[in-house]
A and B are shown apart, each in its own frame.
Chain A
Amino acid sequence: MDRLTKSYPVFDCDAHINDPEQIWDYVPESQKELVRNTYWRGDAEAWLNGDTPVMGGGNAHFPGYNPICIAGPQMNKKIMRKLNSMPLTAEQKAYVHHDGAIDARARLGEMDLMGIDQVLVIPTMVIMHVPFATNAEGVDAFCQAYNNFVADWCSEEPSRIFAAAFLPAQDAGYTAKEIHRAAELGLPVGLIRPIDAQAKYPNAAAPSMMANGEYDQVFRAFEETGMVLGMHTFPAPNYPHPLGRDYLASPGELFNRAGIDSQTFSFVHEMQVWLSQVLLSGLLDRYPNLKMAVFESNAEWLPYTLKTCDRLFKLYARERGSKGDRLPSEAFHEQCVISFESDETGVFRQWKQFQRIGIWASDAYHHDGADSWSAMRNMTECGVPDDVQADLLGGNARRFYGIEGKLFVTDEAPPIDRPDWFPQGPALDEWAEIVAHPREHAEQMREMGLDPMSLLEDTSGVAAGKGLA
């Protein structure tokens, strides 16, 4: 395969850190106990509300590799599947762990290899658990600590590393205040997860029968500061809902209940619920200066959804609350962007519909992450013009965030020289062909110890944990 070159800066709009333990060092001494009883994690354990053990993302949660820190340079799903089936030594685990998930300096080296000039980093298990913390004051203190930490983390290379603030969405007043404070810190994006954690879906912009309109101050704070509202979704949790067991905090919980990895669609479905409300309620008309980024929800579904929303906007012309005449698709194009990942060929085939609103994301180092080189290859194969590739891979995100582009990487790196034990070459391809078609290779699967029951024995203890990265 020919190595690629590029002449424009790539901006990775959604990549992750693995919530380093230093975050908690940023909590003032006077609030340490409060935050410890809100959300706290070490390498081997994490606690929500002081009494609920949760999977916080530490390496010790996983008998094999840590799926939150695995998808770095030149990794792919075949390698990870193979690694998943291997007993890894401590040394091997350390080798496949990407330290850039914790350490900013290490991150820069990995960005060079992945063809990423600039990045916006986002937390990981914080998004999963913190919405379910019950003490709003504790959440506010935690978010301040996180945002202070991540602002400092970016200072390692401020022209390359940017970060999104995490917001205490349990309380709209705290959220509005933190938007202003985080904007002062220079964080260009504020994150909210669109779920019904604790039956408080973050959408009450105006007083209604069901809510007091407290979120108006949040959307206004985004408008006032120019900070981008970053909606970031996640795999489905399974925390009790205040309304009872027939009710959900995330639409992705239906996947859990059907016995499927909710990572498949929880991200997408959480966002679709959010976006259909935003687009059909006229929320963007109410806040015309609000800028919203749709993260980690894929993008291929968007054109059809926008078309459908446009039709419904007309069909409900005399029932809808918004009396404006701007179509949902027009509002989206004027005020929003949506992230896409390297393998979304449906986006590339429909590139004309994304050329001003698509922003590329690596999702590194989560196990489904990928580099920019693979995105370029897929785009070229789908006929995306070079100038549009440059916009999709960086220009659109920088324009939206108001960040100056800087080019650091021009050439794709040669293949990394791997140790002998590392899955690679024809042997990996042969192995992958067998496991990809287990019914055709049932006997070989059993001989290799890869029948379903042995997989279960290996992984059941951490099965749920692995479903979270």
Chain B
Amino acid sequence: MAAVVDVDSHVYEPPEIWDRYVPEQFRALARSAFYHEVDDEGNRLTIVNGAPGAELNRSRLVRQAIWRPGMTVDDVGALDPDQYVPINPGAYDPAARVADMDAMGVDLAVVFPTLFNEYLPLVENPEAAAALAHGYNDWIWDFAAQTQGRVHPVAILPMHSVLLARRELDRVAEKGFTSVVIRPAFYTTSTIEGHSQRDQMARAMADAMRQGLGGAEWSPRHFVETAPFRDVWRHVDELGLVACVHPSLGITGPDAISSGAFAERVSHRLGVPHTIAEPIAHMQDADLFVTSALFHGLLEDFPTLRLAIVHAGTSWVPLALEKSETYLWLSPQFATAFVCLEPEEVWERQPLIVSFDSWEESVGIMPDRLGDKAAWGSRYPNHDASGPVEAREMLEANGVDAAMADRLLGGNAADLFRLQVPVG
């Protein structure tokens, strides 16, 4: 059996990042812009922009770091929501992490932030965001260094400023990172007005839509795939890094940042006692990113850019390609770049993967359609995590052959990330 690569796992960021890793001169600023801590009884402190921040959880359970190898969904469901369950040490301690990976049967894990992915886009001060990213990146680098090459660290970028994002890109590439995470969200960022045909058309279209569809003013945020950020994507490509597009639940900010907030807000009227954004938010943000990239020509502009789209499942991909194709053909006024009207061709030739979940049966039913670009991810230590055994069983139950299962459980990811997989 080939090596297993978990392409979507997480840490739960400890206070040590703020106390030791954020550059000293920025610590007070950074802590005021965003800070999070949980005490031994589950009491939480979350600060965003100098004020109490919204929480990801409503009960005492910290569901983003609760799962441990061997737990079933029923085990998690049986936990008392009024009783604090300590955070899984594997979420912040390298030795515990490796032990959990051994227990799961995972040879190598690509590791993403949890809190920083959720909260960093909310930070208003670009310099504080850059200091926070710097702190996280140095901490996860040291974390990975203590795992005998089993953890592949991914650096986060301060997308609040193209200048600062590029500067951090250079720094982490120099340090040795080969992957960065970019959340598909809207960021407040400084912009430079372009004068190319494409820029002029994009502005004209935006004005036409804003006026023609009801006239509301938009908040000064820009989607991370659009023109203001083009230099960041270019630089990721130039440096030869993998761009990991990782959505977050997105329920702690306003609607205009990412998809989860709208669902969460309107569901309050129905009185649902827990988040309802979870089954859809990540998928919707991934839809938005891919559709935006196809309409704006990101993949055609950077055909060597390596992309990993994670934590959103992969079932949405064929529909995203099909919908993009339909409206690229039917709505020429939106094609503000010379873009291919057959997105499937663009998709197929781009070096990219999309993570899938163990319970995502469509991958097993349609391996010919999804298998070349799919790569398994655990979501460890989120409460909905699963192990590779469950994924392999699902694939086998649907008749996927062993060679394809090996590709899905590790091979595709190892190729994209160019991983040297240690086989235990």
List residues of chain A with CB under 8 Å of any chain B CB: 52, 54-55, 67, 77-78, 80-81, 84-85, 132, 196, 201, 203-211, 236-241, 245-248, 251, 254-261, 263-265, 268-269, 272-273, 276-277, 280-281, 283, 298, 300-301, 303-305, 307-309, 311-312, 314-321, 343-346, 349-350, 367-368, 435-439, 442, 445, 451-453, 455-456, 459-468
Sample of 5 A–B contacts (CB below 8 Å): A258-B186, A304-B316, A319-B58, A465-B212, A467-B213
Tell yes or no: B108 within 8 A of A by CB. Answer: no
| Known A303-B361, A311-B384; contact A467-B331, beta-carbon cutoff 8 A | yes
| Known A240-B214, A459-B332; contact A319-B280, beta-carbon cutoff 8 A | no
Number of A-B contacts (CB under 8 A): 337
List residues of chain B with CB under 8 Å of any chain A CB: 58-59, 63, 73-74, 76-81, 186, 197-198, 200-202, 204-206, 208-219, 221, 223, 225-226, 254-256, 258-259, 262-263, 265-274, 276-280, 283-284, 287-288, 291-292, 295-296, 300, 313, 315-316, 318-320, 322-324, 326-327, 329-342, 357, 359-362, 365-366, 369, 383-384
From the candidates A208, A264, A305, name the one contacting B291 in the complex (CB within 8 A): A264
| Known A196-B266, A206-B271, A319-B274; contact A305-B280, beta-carbon cutoff 8 A | yes
Residues of A within 8 A of B208 (CB): 460-461, 463-464
Q: Kindly state the separation between the CA atoms of A205 and B334 in the bound complex, as whole angstroms.
A: 39
Task: Flag if A273 contacts B226 (CB, 8 Å).
Answer: no
From the candidates A245, A307, A321, A452, name the one contacting B271 in the complex (CB within 8 A): A321
Task: Flag if B263 contacts A251 (CB, 8 Å).
Answer: yes
Residues of B within 8 A of A280 (CB): 272, 274, 276, 279
Residues of A within 8 A of B267 (CB): 203, 276-277, 281
Task: Flag if A467 contacts B334 (CB, 8 Å).
Answer: yes
Q: Kindly state the separation between the CA atoms of A264 and B320 in the bound complex, as whole angstroms.
A: 8
| Known A259-B296, A265-B288, A321-B271; contact A277-B315, beta-carbon cutoff 8 A | no
Task: Flag if B205 contacts A463 (CB, 8 Å).
Answer: yes
Query: Told that A52-B214, A463-B334 touch, could you supply 15 new A-B pairs with CB distance under 8 A?
Result: A55-B212, A247-B265, A257-B221, A258-B186, A264-B326, A273-B262, A280-B272, A301-B319, A308-B313, A312-B384, A315-B76, A318-B80, A346-B362, A459-B332, A467-B212
Task: Flag if A258 contacts B279 (CB, 8 Å).
Answer: no
Q: Which of A78, A265, A343, A468 has the most CB of B within 10 A?
A: A265
Task: Flag if B331 contacts A263 (CB, 8 Å).
Answer: yes
Q: Which of B322, B330, B369 has the most CB of A within 10 A?
A: B330
| Known A67-B330, A84-B332, A265-B288; contact A467-B209, beta-carbon cutoff 8 A | yes
Q: Kindly state the separation between the CA atoms of A10 and B315 in the bound complex, as whole angstroms.
A: 28
Residues of B within 8 A of A80 (CB): 329-330
| Known A281-B276, A303-B361; contact A259-B226, beta-carbon cutoff 8 A | yes
Residues of B within 8 A of A298 (CB): 319, 323
Task: Flag if A318 contacts B78 (CB, 8 Å).
Answer: yes
Q: Which of B73, B254, B255, B315 has the most CB of A within 10 A?
A: B255
Residues of A within 8 A of B336 (CB): 259, 452
Q: Kindly state the separation between the CA atoms of A279 and B192 in the bound complex, as whole angstroms.
A: 44
B367 → chain A closest CB, angstroms? 11
Q: Kindly state the separation between the CA atoms of A445 and B213 in the bound complex, as whole angstroms.
A: 30
Task: Flag if A78 contacts B329 (CB, 8 Å).
Answer: yes
Residues of A within 8 A of B256 (CB): 245-248, 254, 257
Task: Flag if A319 contacts B78 (CB, 8 Å).
Answer: no
Task: Flag if B331 contacts A438 (CB, 8 Å).
Answer: no
Task: Flag if B334 contacts A260 (CB, 8 Å).
Answer: yes
Among residues of B, the one whose C-beta sits closest to the C-beta of A77 is B329
Q: Kindly state the separation between the CA atoms of A390 and B277 in the bound complex, as whole angstroms.
A: 35
B129 → chain A closest CB, angstroms? 18
From the candidates B255, B279, B341, name the one contacting A276 in the complex (CB within 8 A): B279
Q: Kindly state the separation between the CA atoms of A437 and B344 in the bound complex, as whole angstroms.
A: 12
Task: Flag if A265 contacts B214 (CB, 8 Å).
Answer: no
Among residues of A, the one whose C-beta sits closest to the C-beta of B327 is A261
Residues of A within 8 A of B326 (CB): 77, 264, 343, 368
Among residues of A, the one whose C-beta sits closest to the C-beta of B263 is A273
Q: Kindly state the separation between the CA atoms of A241 and B213 in the bound complex, as whole angstroms.
A: 13
A303 → chain B closest CB, angstroms? 6
From the candidates B201, B206, B219, name the one contacting A453 in the complex (CB within 8 A): B201
Q: Kindly state the separation between the CA atoms of A241 and B255 in the bound complex, as whole angstroms.
A: 11
Residues of B within 8 A of A314 (CB): 73-74, 76-77
Task: Flag if A238 contacts B210 (CB, 8 Å).
Answer: yes
A62 → chain B closest CB, angstroms? 12
From the candidates B218, B268, B280, B324, name the one contacting A264 in the complex (CB within 8 A): B324
Residues of B within 8 A of A464 (CB): 208-209, 211-213
Residues of B within 8 A of A259 (CB): 202, 205-206, 209, 223, 226, 292, 295-296, 334, 336
Q: Kindly state the separation between the CA atoms of A442 and B278 in the bound complex, as whole angstroms.
A: 43
Q: Kindly state the separation between the CA atoms of A254 and B225 in the bound complex, as whole angstroms.
A: 12
Among residues of B, the one whose C-beta sits closest to the C-beta of A255 is B288
Q: Kindly state the separation between the CA atoms of A54 and B258 in the bound complex, as whole angstroms.
A: 27
Q: Kindly state the separation between the CA atoms of A438 and B326 in the bound complex, as whole angstroms.
A: 16
| Known A245-B216, A452-B197, A452-B336; contact A300-B273, beta-carbon cutoff 8 A | no
Q: Kindly state the separation between the CA atoms of A204 and B278 in the bound complex, as whole angstroms.
A: 20
| Known A280-B272, A281-B272, A314-B77; contact A309-B279, beta-carbon cutoff 8 A | yes
A329 → chain B closest CB, angstroms? 12
From the candidates B78, B212, B292, name the one contacting A317 in the complex (CB within 8 A): B78
A302 → chain B closest CB, angstroms? 9
Q: Kindly state the separation between the CA atoms of A301 and B76 in the bound complex, as whole angstroms.
A: 26
A252 → chain B closest CB, angstroms? 10
Among residues of B, the one whose C-beta sits closest to the C-beta of A128 is B213
Q: Kindly state the separation between the CA atoms of A308 and B359 in the bound complex, as whole angstroms.
A: 8
Task: Flag if A349 contacts B369 (CB, 8 Å).
Answer: yes
Residues of A within 8 A of B211 (CB): 464
